[in-house]
Amino acid sequence: MLELIDISLKWDFPKEKPFIKNLNLKIKNGDILCVFGKSGVGKSTLINLIAGITEDNLLFKGKIVLNGKILNDIPTEKRKIGLLLQDGALFPHLTVEQNIYFGMNRRLKSKEKLILINENLKKANMDNFQNRYPNTLSGGQKSRIACLRAILSEPDVLLLDEPFSSLDPEHRNSFRNFVFSKVKESKIPCLLVTHDESDKMISNEKPIDLNIFKK
C-alpha cells in the first residue's frame, strides 16, 4: 500500500505559500487513485517527490510510506518505483524487446525474461513486435511498451504522469483499460496524475482534486 501522510510542498522563496498542503491519501495494492488538476498545481512535482526526484528549491513536509516503509530518505534507485511518463521515454537505439528487457529483474535468467516479454506482448496485442524500433511505432504502441517495461521491472508501486494525454480517444480508452488490467494483475498500488476529467473513471477511490489548494 502507498500512503502519503500530511504532505506539504512549497518553493523555497520568501513568503511563498505551499502549493500542496497537508495532503493525505492511501492506495491499496491493485487499486488506482486519480489525482487531477490544472497545469501548474503540482501534479508532476508530487509524482517526482514520491519517486525521489526533487529539485533543490523544493521544500516538503510529511511522510511517503510504501508497504509500511518510510521512503523519505531512501534514494530513487532503491525505492522500487515504476514511473510511466506522457512520452513513454523509450530508448530509441533499442528494440522493443531490448527496451523491456533493460529494466527487468537481474535475478531472472535471460530465457525467463524473454518468455515473460513474449507472453506480455501477446497480451498487449503486439506479438511479433520484438525487433521493432520505437520510431516505427505509433503513439499508442509506444505507450504500451513503456507500460510493459515499467510493470515487468517488478515495482512496488506504479506512478503514471499523464500517460494517456497524447493519445486519440479510441487508443486512450484501450490503453487505460490495459494499464488497469496490468495493475490488478500485478497487485500493486498505482497513482495516476492527470488534467483529463475522463481519466477519473479508472480510479478505485474518490479522485483527489489538487485545484483546491489554489483557492
> Tens of pLDDT along 9-45?
999 988 889 999 999 999 999 999 999 988 889 999 9
What confidence score (pLDDT) does residue 132 get? 97
pLDDT value, residue 79: 94
- pLDDT given at position 103: 84
The reported pLDDT for the residue numbered 215 is: 62
Supply the pLDDT for residue 71: 97
pLDDT digits (tens, 9 = 90+) for 185-202: 899 999 999 888 888 888
Q: What is the pLDDT of residue 88?
A: 66
Grid cell, residue 160, equals: 503514471
Strand partners, 157: 81
pLDDT of amino acid 87? 66
- Regions of the chain short of the pLDDT cut 70: 87-88, 215
Strand order in the sheet with 2-11: 20-27, 2-11, 58-66, 69-70
Cβ atoms 102, 134 nearer than 8 A: no
Distance in angstroms (rounded) separating the CA atoms of residues 118 and 127: 7
Query: Which pairs with CB-CB distance under 8 Å and at least 24 residues apart come from 55-60?
Result: 57/11, 57/12, 57/13, 58/9, 58/10, 58/11, 58/12, 59/9, 59/10, 59/11, 59/12, 60/7, 60/8, 60/9, 60/10
**Domains of the chain listed by start with CATH number:** 2-214 (3.40.50.300)
